[in-house]
Structure 1
Amino acid sequence: MQNLDELDKQLLTQLQVNNRITAEELGYQVGLSTSAVQRRLKRLRDQKVIVADVSIISPKAAGMTVSCIVDVTLHLGNSTVIDSFKDLMATCSQVKQCYYVTGMYDFVLIVETKSMQAYEAFSKHYLMNNPSVKQFYTHVIMDPVKLNFTVRFDE
């Protein structure tokens, strides 16, 4: 991945505010032609600097009323067990984010379900009945105080 210049950073900052902005408008804002903006955006996508162009939908719009942070500890920390758990979580639709972490836990999951009964079914199937899982702790999110998906270039 190449280093980002100031124009790349300006384009990326604007896209994080509104990814539906036109190349023409982006060019006007950063002082480039439309074709120069298009070339830069293609390069940034090809280099996987821009990994997705998405709309962020409220989970509640899909009936997901229960959000949980789940800390998971595995029995063994060998690469086979860890990779197997990573693969399992990658296929689970209720798991919205999965982090392999250092410290007291092996994984931190962000889980969205339609109800507490649905969360219980998830936890039984993927955690309680999983012989690799030693223990897990669930934090039910009462109020998502801050959700921010932007990457800042000035820090």
Structure 2
Amino acid sequence: MKLTGIDRTILRMVQRDAKSRLEDIAEQAGASVATIQRRLRYLRENGVLKGETAIVDPESVGQGMTFLILVELERERLDILDAFRRKIHSEGQIQQCYYITGEADFALVALARDMNEYRDLIQRLFFDDTNVKRFRTSVVMDRTKVGMNVPV
């Protein structure tokens, strides 16, 4: 799929603020509001725009601790990987999950109120899973840069 200059302007603006006014996007892109509406619909229908979300400050809702977790599995059969992905996907405290190369198989970003809640999370996710060989956790000291913006 080839993106136009208008598409790129739309993507830059809605990544900064998903509530950008159509008129502001149209002015920035040098296009009509109708064109912007049509291009936004096209970008959504073709999966370029996967969704629009609000960014919530974790500390404001009592989720003040962030953890980076590297998980190494015993086996990597497709059915086992899919089962692990489903389990991770259903867990609300896991913000992000990446299937990676290197020493670990998955890298997770998790939130918790405190260490006790984190301990409960890892017990649910890893201790009863015989396919989890090991996991290593780093506690985030400071959220220096957080975002999901993609350069366009």
- TM range, smaller chain: over 0.9
Q: Residue 111 of structure 1: SS of its match in structure 2?
A: strand
Q: Distance in 1 between matches of 2:100 and 2:137?
A: 16
Moved more, 66-75 or 18-27: 18-27
TM-score (norm 1): 0.94
Deviation at 1:61, TM superposition (A): 1.4
Please show how residues 3-152 of structure 1 align to structure 2 within 5 Å.
Answer: 3-152=2-151
Q: Residue 85 of structure 1: SS of its match in structure 2?
A: helix
Q: Residue 83 of structure 2: SS of its match in structure 1?
A: helix
Unaligned runs of 5+ in 2: none
Deviation at 1:129, TM superposition (A): 2.1
Q: Distance in 2 between matches of 1:141 and 1:84?
A: 27
Deviation at 1:33, TM superposition (A): 0.6
CA RMSD in angstroms, aligned pairs only = 1.0
Q: Distance in 2 between matches of 1:121 and 1:20?
A: 37
Deviation at 1:48, TM superposition (A): 1.0
Deviation at 1:148, TM superposition (A): 2.6
Deviation at 1:125, TM superposition (A): 1.5
1:52-101 deviations in Å (ceiling 9; x for gaps):
11111111111001110000001111112111101110101111111111
Deviation at 1:15, TM superposition (A): 1.3
1:93-122 deviations in Å (ceiling 9; x for gaps):
111111111111010110101110000011
Q: Residue 119 of structure 1: SS of its match in structure 2?
A: helix
TM-score (norm 2): 0.96
How many residue pairs were aligned?
152
Deviation at 1:144, TM superposition (A): 1.3
Q: Distance in 1 between matches of 2:148 and 2:98?
A: 16
**Identity rate, percent:** 28
Q: Residue 110 of structure 1: SS of its match in structure 2?
A: strand
Q: Distance in 2 between matches of 1:99 and 1:60?
A: 24
Q: Distance in 2 between matches of 1:93 and 1:40?
A: 33
Query: Aligned partner of 1:61: which letter?
Result: S
